[in-house]
Amino acid sequence: MDKKQQVPTEHRPLINPALAGQNCGSMEMWVEMIDSVRASDIKAAELRKPPAVEIEVRLVIRTCTNVKLMDGTKTDVKVVVELECKEYEGAAMGFPKMQPTDVHHGSTGPAIYNWRAVFPRIVMPTKSCTMDLKLYQANSLSADQFIGAVSVDLRRYVETVARNMDQIYIEKADLQVSAGSGGDEGDGEDKHEDAGAEENVGQIQFEMWIMTQSEANQKRAGKGRDDPNDFPQLVTPSEGRGWGDVLGGFSFSLPDLGLMKKIIPLILFTLLCLVALKAVGLL
């Protein structure tokens, strides 16, 4: 400790006798050397635990292709993104662990979303960090029907960003979705262990950003297409969102009326004429 009561830090190289001449890293450290006469008057340097590094993960679901047709000729498709990480603290900020997309109605295989899932405040270090992407057949009158799922291990990505403090960007890539037993059965480690042997029920195209929380705070983005709709800006697709696509999920069939199909229009016309004559006072 110097005369200004400041502790000088230094970096000492790490040496391995078996690896002569090779760089094995360095250690930041300091040694406090104080006159024994003055030691009782000078407090030891205060040590504090370094602040935790927080990571934010953003996933943009672009499209789905070759989705299994659950109604024979079409499927009302939605994707549910679920983060499995005990160190996740973003739910209190309005970013739940489970974030569904909107529904693409009447898909014949392809589906378009442009939908963002945001998971801030993943506190490092973490023992496990997995993201599950699940395909569902959306139902208005009953529970959604599970189609298939795929898991992505994020741990090595968040650890790399926490260590290097540099953003990782995964440009458009496809994930194969496999049929499984269901979205909520089993634990996070084994519920998709046999997915590779299951039926392929579609692909999900996505982009992903992994960054430090401090960088994410400078580039804020909302869930889905909510404001702030930036980094990147997402446009609502027109496909699968019209009333025709929504009503296409309901099938109506009339019985074969035979001769009555020809008589009913005549009856309706006669009734309309009677109402008109009554209105003008001729009846």
Instruction: Specify the number of domains making up the chain.
Output: 1
Residues paired with residue 145 on neighbouring β-strands, in sequence order:
137
Does residue 69 fall inside a structural domain?
A: yes
The domain of 215 spans: 54-182+194-247
pLDDT band with cut points at 50, 70 and 90 for residue 202: very high
Share above pLDDT 70 across residues of the chain, in percent, rounded to a whole number: 85
Summarize the confidence of residues 131-152 as an average pLDDT.
95
Identify which has the larger pLDDT, 184 or 59. Answer: 59
Q: Which CATH number goes with the domain that contains 143?
A: 2.60.40.150
Summarize the confidence of residues 50-57 as an average pLDDT.
93
> Residue 261: what pLDDT?
65
| 143 contact partners, CB below 8 Å, separation of at least 6 | none
Does residue 61 fall inside a structural domain?
A: yes
Contact (CB, 8 A) for 58 and 117:
yes
Identify which has the larger pLDDT, 120 or 254. Answer: 120
Does residue 219 fall inside a structural domain?
A: yes
Rounded distance between C-alpha atoms, residue 228 and residue 220, angstroms: 7
Q: What is the DSSP letter of 41?
A: G
pLDDT band with cut points at 50, 70 and 90 for residue 191: very low
Does residue 62 fall inside a structural domain?
A: yes
Task: Name residue 206's amino acid.
Answer: F
3-class SS of residue 95: coil
Summarize the confidence of residues 110-130 as an average pLDDT.
98
Summarize the confidence of residues 64-73 as an average pLDDT.
93
> Residue 188: what pLDDT?
46
pLDDT value at 154 more than 90: yes
Summarize the confidence of residues 151-156 as an average pLDDT.
97
| 151 contact partners, CB below 8 Å, separation of at least 6 | 130, 131, 132, 133, 192, 195
Does residue 59 fall inside a structural domain?
A: yes
Q: Would you mind telling me the total number of residues written for the chain in this entry?
A: 283
> Residue 195: what pLDDT?
44
CA–chain centroid gap for 116, Å, is: 7
Beta strands in the chain, from DSSP E residues, in sequence order: 10-13, 26-29, 54-65, 75-84, 98-100, 104-107, 111-123, 130-137, 145-153, 168-178, 200-212
What is the helix, strand, coil percentage profile of the chain, to 5?
Answer: 20, 35, 50
3-class SS of residue 202: strand
Does residue 275 fall inside a structural domain?
A: no
pLDDT band with cut points at 50, 70 and 90 for residue 185: very low
Does residue 232 fall inside a structural domain?
A: yes
Does residue 75 fall inside a structural domain?
A: yes
Mean pLDDT in the chain? 87
pLDDT value at 68 more than 50: yes
Task: Quick: pLDDT tens for 243-270.
Answer: 776 666 555 454 666 667 668 778 888 8
Contact (CB, 8 A) for 89 and 123:
yes
pLDDT value at 2 more than 70: no
Identify which has the larger pLDDT, 115 or 23. Answer: 115
Rounded distance between C-alpha atoms, residue 129 and residue 159, angstroms: 10
